[in-house]
Structures are given as C-alpha cells and as structure tokens.
Structure 1
Amino acid sequence: METNEITTREKLKTYFETGKYPTEGQFAELIDFFSLKDDIVSNKELVTLANNLAALDNGYILYNTSNIENEKFAIVVHSKEGEDQIFTIGKTENKEQKRYFQGSAPYTVRTKDFLVNQLEGHRYYYLNTQIDDGATMSRLFGNNLPPIPGDFEMGTVENKKISVRISNEDFDRKISNLHTHLTFVNKTEILIEYALYGNYWSNRYVSEDMVTDHYDLGDFLACFYRADLTEVSKAIECRIYDADNDTLLMKASLIPGQKNINVSAGGALAGIRNARIECQYES
C-alpha cells in the first residue's frame, strides 16, 4: 500500500546534494511544497491555520461597524519588535471581525487615515475602543466636530486585545465641544493614572495634566483611577477640587496591598471648566 510521506525541508535538500540529479517528480515536489501567490487556500487549510493562530499568544483586534457604507478607517499597530501592521476597517455588516497582531506585546495602537464622507444634518461618526476588559476611549467626529487626527493614540495593549467599534449616529441637534482643564498633582512616588468619562466621550488613562474636548450632550465628567499598590502599605487619597474657588468636589481612596483598577471618584464634574486632582498618602 502506498503511504503519504510528509515532505520536509530536510528531505527536499537531499534532492539537490552535490553530484545528484533531481528528477522531474522531485522538482514537482519542491514546487508543491511552497504556497504560491495565486494559490487558492482550501477550507481545510484555512481551518488549520485558524486553529494554529488561536494557539498563539499574539494579541488581536476585534472590530465592528454599523451604518457605515464606503468609509475606510486605517489603524496602525506597533509591536515591541518594531513591526507595524495596518488594519483597514470598512463595512462589516455589523459582524465582529478578528485579526491577529504580528510580534508580541505590548502593542501601541494609533490611527492612520480615516477616509470618511462629509456628514450633514445631525449625523456624526462615533469611535469607541476598549483595551482588554479595561477602560474605554470614545470620540465623536465629522460634521462640525474636528476629525480624528492621523496619529491619534488609542492606547497600549499590554495583554491581548483591543476592541474597536465605529458607527454613524444621528442626533437631534448639532453638537459642540466643551473644554475642562485638569491639573494633576501626584504627591507620591507611585504611578497613579486617571480617566474621565462623559456622554459619548471618554479618555484613556493618563498621569499628567490634560484638557478635555467632551460634548455639550451633557456637561459632566466622571473620574476613575488606577494604581498598583501591591507593594505599598499606606492608602492613597485622590481629591478633586474646583480650581477656580478651591472647593473640594469629590474624593476616592486607593487601597494598599492590591492593584486598584477603575476606582470611582464618585459623583461627576458638572459644568466645571478648571479642576485640580491631588493624590497623597492618607495620614
């Protein structure tokens, strides 16, 4: 009975050793060993490839669009090996798509070119991203609102995935930006980061001063913190003040001996244009 012997690189090399004359069949075996540009990949090969990719430890992007027609949204992923990948997101028929990253984590994710239609009336594009299962970053753009910049940083994927959702939304009126100035004062040696959330707007975690560009859909901002206090024995309190009159607005406590993730400050900054966050050890 004829057996199907597996073709390996080592076996192919033996056909071309000094003094040997490869046969027609051996040349054919060499050619069949390679996948050529015009080859059609079989369903079996695709399933095998997908299973092998699922076993890898590589990160990936999940993306989904709705109410999108011919718009194209290019996203660049940079790995620590220095490789750049470009993912062009278009119409997905509201079905989630999954694509793997090259290289290994961490992956820095940023925008490249967002080729969008001119929106009229009260229509806007809505971009929402989430890294792993943590904080989200959200923006409206198009129409009378500023576009997404060509090198806008979405965040860094330290673990596995980033989810990206883009939709075309219709509101009941024109939308304008509001700006709140945040001064961040960290009186500890621990890295403490904060993130702000508004209506259709949220910012990735930062550890520096910032100016929001949230929307008049609702003039409020919720605040969350994260910090790794696993090696710290003291609690840290973060207070938010109205910087115009030095009034205490809200505070949050970061617990020692653990990782603090998405710790809420409670309440929201309502109609505040200048705020100050101060974090220090509790006495």
Structure 2
Amino acid sequence: MEKTEITTREKLKTYFETGKYPTEGQFAELIDFLRLKEDILTNKELVDLSNHLAALDNGYILYSTSNIENEKFPIAVSSKEGESQTFTIGKTENKEQKRYFQGSAPYTVSTKEFMVDQLEGNKYYYLNTQIDDGHTTSRLFGNNLPPIPENFGLGTVENEKISVRVSNEDFDRKINNLHTRLTFVNKTEIFIEYALYGNYWSNKYISEDMVTDHYDLGDFLVCFYRADLSGTSKSIGCRIYDMDNDTLLMTASLIPGQKNINVSAGGVLSGVRNARIECDYES
C-alpha cells in the first residue's frame, strides 16, 4: 500500500523553490491546506479549539435570558492589551451560553445601546451581572424606569468570568426609583471600597460619593466593604451615620493582616435618604 505523506508547511514550501514549476495538483494541495473564511469547523475542530482556549486561561462571559423575544443586549469587553469585543445577548431559551474573551485579564466590561421594546403594564427588564463569584450589579429598566445607559460600567474581570442574565419581569404594580445620598469619608491611607445592595438593585464597588436609584420594592439598602489590609497591623472601623440627625446607624470592622472581601456593614439602611460613611483606624 502506498504511504500517504502528511502535508506540512515545510513540504508546501518545497513546491515553490527557485527554479521549480508547481503542478496543478500541488496548487490544489496548497489551497486545501488553507482555511478560508467560509469554511465551517467540524465538531472535532470546535472541541479542540474550545479546549485550547480553556488551556490558555482566557476569561469568558456566561449569559442567559428569560422571557426575552427579539431584544438585543450588546455587552462590550476590552482587555488590558486594548482589544475590544462585543457580545450580543439575545434569546437563549434559558440555556447558558459561554464565549471566550480575546487578550488577557483584566477585562473591562460595560454595556452598549440596548435595543429593546417599550414595555407596558407592570413589566420590566432585569439585568443581573456577577464578576467571578464576587459582587453583582443589578438594575431594572424599561417601562417608566430609565434605560440602561450606554457605557454603563459592569465592573472589571480580574480572574475568570462575568455572568450576565437578562430577564423580563412582571410585577403587581409600577416600580419607582428611590434616592439615597451616600457621602464617603476615608481617613486612612488604605484604599477602601463599598457596595450597596437593594431589592433588584446593586452597584459595583466604589470609593466615592454616590446617589442610589434603588426601588420602592423595598426601601432598604445593605452595605459591604472591601480593602486589602495585608500590609498593616491596624484595624479599621467603618461607621454609617444618618446625616439628617447625626445618628450612628452601624459599624463594621476591617481586620488587619489580610484582604477584607465583602465585609458586611452589620445592618440595614431603611428609609434613610442622607447617609455618611466614615472609615478610620480603630484605637
């Protein structure tokens, strides 16, 4: 039986050495060796490619939708090399989809313009994202609530993934925004961030003043902190005050010698419209 020689790059190059005249068959062999844009990967090639991407440790997006028809939700991702991708999230029949990122971490994730229908009655769109297995960003939008703005930051993926879920929710009444002003005062040299969570609403970690737009589904907010105290032997106390009557509402302690992640403020801000967070070293 005649042994078939494997086509390699080195073999193909020999057809075009100076003084040689490639045959029709050799040109055909070259063309068959190339992959054209319209070529469809086989199942085996797709599996091999997915395994290769996983081995490269690239970040990825997991997304799914519920009760969504023709709406489109583009999510923009850029890597530290400046590479940019857009993932357009549409109807997934509740099946989770996985797509890998170009480049390497950290990946900055934000929204682009959401092309959605005007909702009637008490229906709203709900966007929920989670970075790795940490903090979440949640918003209701559509109907009488403001749309998700273009370039709305969803956070930075430092390690592995972002999970995104978009659904169409039907409530028993109209939903309205509530606004609480948070003034953040950090009296230490340590970088400290806080995040607030309400019902169907949460923001990414920040280190500055903010005004919430949580909902009257429940007039409450919970607060969490994160800070790296690995290089200090001093503990830090973060206290929340009601600025309208200067009342101390709750205190959280950040532990020295370690990274503090998702440290609870130790209570609930209920019906507060004007609050101040003060972080300082504890004696």
Q: Same fold (TM over 0.5)?
A: yes
Q: What secondary structure, in the 3-state scheme, does the structure 2 residue paired with 1:196 have?
A: strand
- Look up the match of 1:229: 229
- Look up the match of 1:79: 79
Q: What secondary structure, in the 3-state scheme, does the structure 1 residue paired with 2:178 have?
A: coil
CA distance in 1 between counterparts of 2:138 and 2:244 reads 28
Q: What secondary structure, in the 3-state scheme, does the structure 1 residue paired with 2:253 have?
A: strand
* Per-residue deviation, 1:22: 1.5
Percent of aligned pairs sharing the same letter: 83
- Look up the match of 1:267: 267
- Look up the match of 2:211: 211
**Mean Cα displacement is larger for which, 173-182 or 27-36?**
27-36
User: 5 Å matches for 1:140-159?
Assistant: 140-159=140-159
User: 5 Å matches for 1:76-225?
Assistant: 76-225=76-225
Q: What secondary structure, in the 3-state scheme, does the structure 1 residue paired with 2:215 have?
A: coil
- Look up the match of 2:246: 246
Deviations 1:141-197 (A, max 9, x none): 000000000111101111110000000000000000000000000011111000000
Q: Which amino acid aligns with 1:206?
A: I
Deviations 1:46-93 (A, max 9, x none): 121122122121100000100000000001001111111010000000
* Per-residue deviation, 1:8: 3.1
**CA distance change for structure 1 residues 46 and 4 in 2, over 3 Å: closer, same or farther?**
farther
- Look up the match of 1:22: 22
Q: Which amino acid aligns with 2:83?
A: E
- Look up the match of 1:64: 64
Aligned residues: 283
Q: Which amino acid aligns with 1:148?
A: I
CA distance in 1 between counterparts of 2:219 and 2:199 reads 8
Q: Which amino acid aligns with 2:188?
A: T
CA distance in 1 between counterparts of 2:5 and 2:233 reads 63
- Look up the match of 1:48: 48
Q: What secondary structure, in the 3-state scheme, does the structure 1 residue paired with 2:20 have?
A: coil
Q: Which amino acid aligns with 1:241?
A: Y
CA distance in 2 between counterparts of 1:61 and 1:207 reads 26
* Per-residue deviation, 1:19: 1.4
CA distance in 2 between counterparts of 1:136 and 1:3 reads 59
Deviations 1:83-121 (A, max 9, x none): 110100000000000000000011000001211111000
Q: Which amino acid aligns with 2:169?
A: E
Q: What secondary structure, in the 3-state scheme, does the structure 2 residue paired with 1:183 have?
A: strand
Q: What secondary structure, in the 3-state scheme, does the structure 2 residue paired with 1:12 have?
A: helix
* Per-residue deviation, 1:3: 4.2
**CA distance change for structure 1 residues 2 and 156 in 2, over 3 Å: closer, same or farther?**
farther
Q: Which amino acid aligns with 2:10?
A: E
* Per-residue deviation, 1:35: 1.4
**CA distance change for structure 1 residues 47 and 3 in 2, over 3 Å: closer, same or farther?**
farther
TM (norm. structure 2) is 0.97
- Look up the match of 1:7: 7
* Per-residue deviation, 1:216: 0.4
CA distance in 1 between counterparts of 2:241 and 2:121 reads 38
Q: Which amino acid aligns with 2:173?
A: R
CA distance in 2 between counterparts of 1:116 and 1:73 reads 8
Q: Which amino acid aligns with 2:264?
A: S
Q: CA RMSD in A?
A: 1.1
Q: What secondary structure, in the 3-state scheme, does the structure 1 residue paired with 2:225 have?
A: strand
CA distance in 1 between counterparts of 2:6 and 2:188 reads 62
* Per-residue deviation, 1:4: 4.8
